[in-house]
Structure 1
Amino acid sequence: MKTQKIEFYRHPAGGWGALKSVATQLLGHGIAAKGAKTMLSANQPDGFDCPGCAWPDRDHASTFEFCENGVKAVAAEATSRRATADFFRKHPVASLLQESDFFLEDQGRLTEPLAYDAATDTYVPISWDDAFATIGRHLRALPDPDQAIFYTSGRTSNEAAFLYQLFVREFGTNNFPDCSNMCHEPSGTGLRSSIGVGKGTVTLDDFERADAIFIFGQNPGTNHPRMLGELRDAAKRGARIVSFNPLRERGLERFANPQSPMAMLGLGSNFISTDYHQLRIGGDLAAIKGIIKHVIEADDAAVASGQPRVLDTAFIAEHTNGFDAFVADVRAESWETIEAEAGLPEAQLRATGDTYIAAKAVIACWGMGITQHKHSVATIQMITNLLLLRGHIGRPGAGACPVRGHSNVQGDRTMGIYEQPSQAFLDRLDAVFGIQTPRAAGFDTIAAIEAMRDGKASVFIGMGGNFASATPDTAVTEAALRQCALTVHVSTKLNRSHLVHGKDALILPCLGRTEIDMQAGGAQGVTVEDSMSMVHLSSGINPPASDHLLSEPAIVARMAKATLPDSRIDWLGLIEDYDRIRVLIEQVFDDFAGFNDKLRHPGGFRLRNTASERVWNTPTGKANFFAQPIPRDLPIHQARQQTDALVFNLATVRSHDQYNTTIYGMNDRYRGVYGHRRVVFIHADDIRALGMKAGDWVDLTSIDTDGKTRRVDRFLLVEYAIPRGCIASYYPETNGLVPLSSFADQARTPTSKSIPVMLTPHHAHARSDSTSTTDADTLA
């Protein structure tokens, strides 16, 4: 059993702790020499794009940039371990369901296509031809194409995503739930309404010019470690870094660059945040509105005293709409409400407002701490309001920076993986391919689960990802998947979704990003788009983990061929040379004109971002201010009105040994947790108010208006620096507490960062039928 302890971490992020973790990962996967060589080929002109996060590279053409999480992702993919047919023969699905997510991940790479055998409750080998024939048979038998669901993970390449959406739309549906539905959907929704483009407006060069960087709801030390290099450099040259996060996160406090000899000798640790505001969970909108209120009042004072204006009135007049109504709403908001909902004092917010005023160029960054709330779209619009006040969009060193998760989640959406495609896009597909695309909106993630639950969908195909673990309301989601006639998962490694299967089920193993993709036309490369709209080539360097693996584009093409025998599209010809796919992409998307030629340039190219040019593709033709009252009727407010008992606002978070639902290990180094995953981070005074002590075990029960009991059992109380009334715990263990009906207004992202819960002592009672969590990760 692994060492289990709680021990405060006193060192900076990065540093020797990161190097030790890297060594442990490489040695643990049996790839020390091979792994080091592989890492040196990441993000290189003739190498592969890191399969981890979507943070861009400073110089994709020449510089290896160390990243602990990137090493974990590469080591996990390049591992020497194999989950062979023999493993599945020895492990029935029922027994695997009792294992931890870490155990499943740790079995290594899948080696051949597998089909579920009900008689033995095991997965058994199946030929590729038979697997595709099974898919085609099920899809063609559906009375309505809308009864099939096609999920997409953010690791899918542009080429695979483009073929996937083309296949599915020729088949006849827009049912494209994807990981964006569960993370940054509010970013796209909020930004499109405000500035006309659903992406960030900055590049890495802007981080070199910013005078202030505001960070909301993000933990880059764990989720985007390479971002710390940009923040460190900005801090060293005097930029103000203002962080808003309920938890104290080491990566936002101090950082030692593992690539710097001076830092590793203890001479180069840098403070990151100049200001760190521990606001209440969900209090960002109120905090930002308080900053804006101070800025507007400072502008009023400047006008009254005949001083230069604080607001960029010329920019506002020429480029924006809705300013007067917005300002009236801000003026009407009371400081009492702002303080109460933000959990921060007026003086602190006014001081932050002065930091904003003093900066000539401001970048605002945010992560899922902003997007997974009921009022997330309104919060993102408020962040954009803040930037617009002084013209910080379309200016060097300034702009909006939503920090995406998976390496190509943004590119997949660019390629058309979206359940609500524009009519213009569908018209272009019809014209280029001579098909008739469906026009009705499809299912997003929430709607897909509901459709399977209600018997309105019976085929689920997942292009990567871990749908059962990533989604909310775990018991409902698992029951919905089990009702399907067919579930299909395209994956590199075993995960829990493979065990939550339909009557028929297939696991289709694919090549990883690090592996050579050999097709009839030779070795192929795929492309990805990072968080800052840079598109570049990724070419694997390692031999495939098995001779029986297919690439994602090949799997999609062969599914299409098996399902659409009369299609006029030459599916198999396209995958002989991926340049052919890219030629079709540029025929559909004008911004990809000359796609193959542009890729020959080291580092790739950046897609046009109209907002960064101050071209506003909104209905008003301008950037829009949005008035947003501070919400006072959120789920947490409602829950606290229902009972006199203590109700906490729970945010689900990743551990440091985790990427999304992939569990690399059982430690969370920066938060001081070792060997545990079932923990609750809570303020010391709240522990006492419960009549408990740190180290006690509790059960968590969520409170929702639907009256359903959702409970997860046996979590360890860990004293932590977090505001009173707020707690945090890891997902996917706590996803079962999130009601399917609780999602963001306008964007329908699950509210996984704001779940009203009650804590009760754990008494080893029978597990509730309303949860599907397993005790496999708990302490003995």
Structure 2
Amino acid sequence: MSEEPDVKGVEPYAGPAGGWGALRAVALAVKQQMGASADTRALLQMNQPDGFDCPGCAWPDPRHTSSFEFCENGAKAVTWEATVKRVDPGFFAAHSVSELWGWSDHALEDAGRLTEPMRYDAATDHYVAISWDEAFARIGAGLRALDHPDRAEFYCSGRASNEAAFLYQLFARAFGTNNFPDCSNMCHEATSVGLPQSIGVGKGTVTLEDFDLADAIFCIGHNPGTNHPRMLSTLSAAARRGVPIVVANPMRERGLERFKSPQHPTEMLSTHSTQLASAYHQPRVGGDAAMLTGMMKALFEADRVDVTGGGPGLLDRAFIAAHTQGLAALQAEVEATAWADIVAGSGLDEAAIRSMAETYWRAERVIICYGMGITQHANGTANVQQLANLLLLRGNMGKPGAGICPLRGHSNVQGDRTVGITEIPTEAFLARLDKAFGINSPRAHGHAAVEAMEAMREGRSKALIALGGNLAIAMPDPDVCFEAMRGLDLSVHILTKFNRSCLLPATESIVLPCLGRTELDVQAGGPQSVTVEDSMSMVHASAGKLKPASGGLKSEPAIVAGMAKATLESGIDWDWLVADYDRIRDGIEAVFPDFRDFNERIRVPGGFRLTVGASDRVWNTPSGKAQFLPHPLLPAEAQRKGLILTTLRSHDQYNTTIYGLDDRYRGIFGRRDILFANADDMAELGLMQGDKVDVMAGPGRVLPGLTLVAYDIARGSLGAYYPEANCLVPLDDHDRLSGTPSYKSIEVTLQKAA
């Protein structure tokens, strides 16, 4: 980062990821949220076999556990949930909705935990307390008043457990709709759509143990230091045994450069930190497809040279012959692409791309990890399939130490999809669901997130039930989304904390407070555990231990059951299911064969792994083989755009939840009104660090008054914080194959602020 001129709140950070900075941040979070009498035992119970799963990211737990299996941001998530602050009826009596609209998103959630069901009273512009019975009755009446079940949208956040998500989809399908917008639609839907076409499954193929066997690891378009910090321990172990870790990311991120583990006293007391990246390449924002095409082109060229010289070649021909289709079309497309177009599209020179390719082909076992820097583009599905193409060329699928590793966000976002939260259900799944529960599920495909918001905007959908999340803030085009949600007849938000989506009142708006992941869940059958699936398809139990924030809280499964009872005459005994979550798991097992012996297997420490066919070289594609899928690049002239902006999460943030205003590793403190830019680009535009600029992405799309900060980011690239920069993304700017919004490739111009 440039050190000139001085800008308030901009201080270069020289330390490694983790280290003493992480410990200080955890201590501060505990003090601010949990107070002097904090029950810090919660942190020691996180990610332990008899404890609760981290409410943050979906990075898997190691099979060997220790007293410390949490990271800085996981600790922040726990303190945020276990806070002593309360948002009770007195809070709402003191603050109108109009007043709260003027609060920041950070301040809204920092106010504390919800304690009672609340209903918006339009006459007073305040939320007022109501009983659970009244809340459920009003929700049931609102849903029954719709003239068709498809007028309702059932949104699901990735923090919902398997048990809650399964009951939720059962409720909605018994009601009569497949409208399931969910947070996957906004992050890894390109994975869920792209990988099944390539390898027959929309999940990663690796396990945590594969990282111990890999000969090379590629990290593309993700920032583990902030978004999945426990991954740093895995990368650190690989780096220490000499494994090349090749990074491709437009911005320099400390969490991909150096790491000091806060859980290793020897390292903490030394001046040593582990160097992570063996090579760090900075493609321009949106340059990944061109970079991957270049790597394959270099591989094909080197393979030809080796074969011509009498060698076996660099492609895994035996694997390709036995397990794949489509190589000829891919090779023809790649070889026809000019290096000039690859260089122009990627922002990397040819030598850098060839170097990456050489590291790839010299390794026998390669893992490619990627995040939303790959998926959140108009060509996100193509990006994912290009990663699969590259891995298939050398047989790096379905063997130990190799495979593809999509880095999921929320801790059960993958599990929710596994147990039925999908707008495009298969006939086989619906038939099993109908047989198990005696219902008649609808067969028409429903709405994903963008389609749901468009339906609300056009008045085709009139009710929203939101199981967690902050939908209005997570979506692009906030002005459109805000207006759409205000036009609903019914909105219901099931939350631990109040957020901005609750401030968009419908004709009837209800907020229902639920138990958090850390809290003891007691039903008629006694204390309960739930289950979650991590990003490597491991399913394990999670049991909260803390006293609930309020006696007025219900669990998510209990809330779903209460809404269903008030809405339906389905013949399903919802109370019986919720009394003992083993019964819900029996239902999951009846519908999804992969969950055989579900209750027995989750009682084994560490849980069990679901079947991932591609991990065993079983390709559940129509042909029974993995598919090479070519994607042409645009010619160089068409690729030359102006400045391209990507949205970013700060280090004091998880998805839409903002824990604080610091972004320590990027050297930003106490503010978020920042625009990261390349110093040479700034000079060309006659701008300098500290200048205030307006960011424009077309008529009416302006993010005003950001402060420029010179940063080590690729030429032609900019970075601004999410969700503030969502206003620059139109609702219809998304990947046409998956519906994933293009949060990370926004063409913009800059002008000095007035």
Short-chain TM bin? over 0.9
The 1-side partners of 2:717 and 2:221 are apart by: 14
Contact 2:464 2:491 in 1 (8 A): yes
- Once the two structures are superposed, what CA deviation does each residue of 1:187-245 show, in whole Å capped at 9, x if it has no partner? 11111000000000000000000010011100000000000000000000010000000
Question: Aligned residue for 1:511?
Answer: 515
Matched, 1:144 2:148: yes
- Alpha-carbon offset, residue 632 of structure 1: 5.1
Contact 2:48 2:69 in 1 (8 A): no
Letter aligned with residue 494 of structure 2: V
- Residue 340 and residue 144 in structure 1: after superposition, are their counterparts in 2 closer, same or farther (change >3 A)? same
Question: Aligned residue for 1:628?
Answer: 631
The 2-side partners of 1:625 and 1:503 are apart by: 51
Letter aligned with residue 323 of structure 2: H
Question: Aligned residue for 1:358?
Answer: 362
The 2-side partners of 1:43 and 1:29 are apart by: 21
Which one of the candidate residues 684, 703, 725 is aligned to 1:712? 703
Q: Secondary structure at the match of 1:528?
A: strand
Question: Aligned residue for 1:778?
Answer: none
- Residue 460 and residue 338 in structure 1: after superposition, are their counterparts in 2 closer, same or farther (change >3 A)? same
The 1-side partners of 2:643 and 2:375 are apart by: 19
Matched, 1:737 2:741: no
Question: Aligned residue for 1:750?
Answer: 741
Question: Aligned residue for 1:374?
Answer: 378
Matched, 1:675 2:679: no
Q: Residues 398-547 of structure 1: matches in 2 within 5 Å?
A: 398-547=402-551
Matched, 1:21 2:33: no
- Once the two structures are superposed, what CA deviation does each residue of 1:239-294 show, in whole Å capped at 9, x if it has no partner? 00000000000000000000111221234300000010011001111111111111
**TM-score if structure 2 supplies the norm length?**
0.98
Contact 1:215 1:241 in 2 (8 A): yes
State, as a whole percentage, how many aligned pairs show the same letter. Answer: 57
Question: Aligned residue for 1:558?
Answer: 562
Question: Aligned residue for 2:592?
Answer: 589
- Residue 632 and residue 515 in structure 1: after superposition, are their counterparts in 2 closer, same or farther (change >3 A)? farther
Question: Aligned residue for 1:698?
Answer: 693
Which one of the candidate residues 648, 656, 664 is aligned to 2:659? 664
Question: Aligned residue for 1:575?
Answer: 578
The 2-side partners of 1:298 and 1:280 are apart by: 25
Question: Aligned residue for 1:767?
Answer: none
> What do you get for the CA RMSD once the two structures are aligned?
1.3
Letter aligned with residue 133 of structure 1: A
**TM-score if structure 1 supplies the norm length?**
0.95
Residue ranges of structure 1 left out of the alignment (5+ in a row): 641-646, 764-780
- Alpha-carbon offset, residue 305 of structure 1: 0.5
The 2-side partners of 1:4 and 1:508 are apart by: 40
Residue ranges of structure 2 left out of the alignment (5+ in a row): 1-6
Q: Secondary structure at the match of 1:130?
A: helix
Question: Aligned residue for 1:619?
Answer: 622
Question: Aligned residue for 1:174?
Answer: 178
- Alpha-carbon offset, residue 476 of structure 1: 0.2
Q: Residues 85-100 of structure 1: matches in 2 within 5 Å?
A: 85-100=89-104
Matched, 1:209 2:181: no
- Once the two structures are superposed, what CA deviation does each residue of 1:576-603 show, in whole Å capped at 9, x if it has no partner? 0000100111000001011000011011
- Residue 32 and residue 328 in structure 1: after superposition, are their counterparts in 2 closer, same or farther (change >3 A)? farther
- Alpha-carbon offset, residue 46 of structure 1: 1.6
Contact 1:44 1:60 in 2 (8 A): no
- Alpha-carbon offset, residue 61 of structure 1: 5.2
Greater mean alpha carbon deviation, residues 542-551 or residues 56-65: 56-65
Greater mean alpha carbon deviation, residues 514-523 or residues 679-688: 679-688
Which one of the candidate residues 48, 53, 58 is aligned to 1:49? 53
Q: Secondary structure at the match of 2:159?
A: coil
Letter aligned with residue 358 of structure 1: R
The 2-side partners of 1:172 and 1:675 are apart by: 48
Contact 2:345 2:639 in 1 (8 A): no
- Alpha-carbon offset, residue 745 of structure 1: 2.6
Question: Aligned residue for 1:122?
Answer: 126
Letter aligned with residue 679 of structure 2: A
Letter aligned with residue 523 of structure 1: P
Question: Aligned residue for 1:774?
Answer: none
- Alpha-carbon offset, residue 494 of structure 1: 1.2
Q: Secondary structure at the match of 1:575?
A: helix
- Residue 633 and residue 187 in structure 1: after superposition, are their counterparts in 2 closer, same or farther (change >3 A)? farther
Question: Aligned residue for 1:185?
Answer: 189
Matched, 1:325 2:329: yes
- Alpha-carbon offset, residue 82 of structure 1: 0.5
- Alpha-carbon offset, residue 32 of structure 1: 5.4
Contact 1:253 1:272 in 2 (8 A): yes
- Alpha-carbon offset, residue 633 of structure 1: 9.7
The 2-side partners of 1:265 and 1:739 are apart by: 49
The 2-side partners of 1:60 and 1:570 are apart by: 40
Contact 2:347 2:715 in 1 (8 A): no
Q: Secondary structure at the match of 1:115?
A: strand
The 1-side partners of 2:714 and 2:599 are apart by: 51
Matched, 1:289 2:280: no
Q: Secondary structure at the match of 2:38?
A: helix
Moved over 4 A (4+): 60-63
- Alpha-carbon offset, residue 503 of structure 1: 1.7
Which one of the candidate residues 78, 82, 85 is aligned to 2:86? 82
Aligned pair count?
A: 748
Question: Aligned residue for 2:4?
Answer: none
Letter aligned with residue 301 of structure 1: V
The 2-side partners of 1:738 and 1:611 are apart by: 35
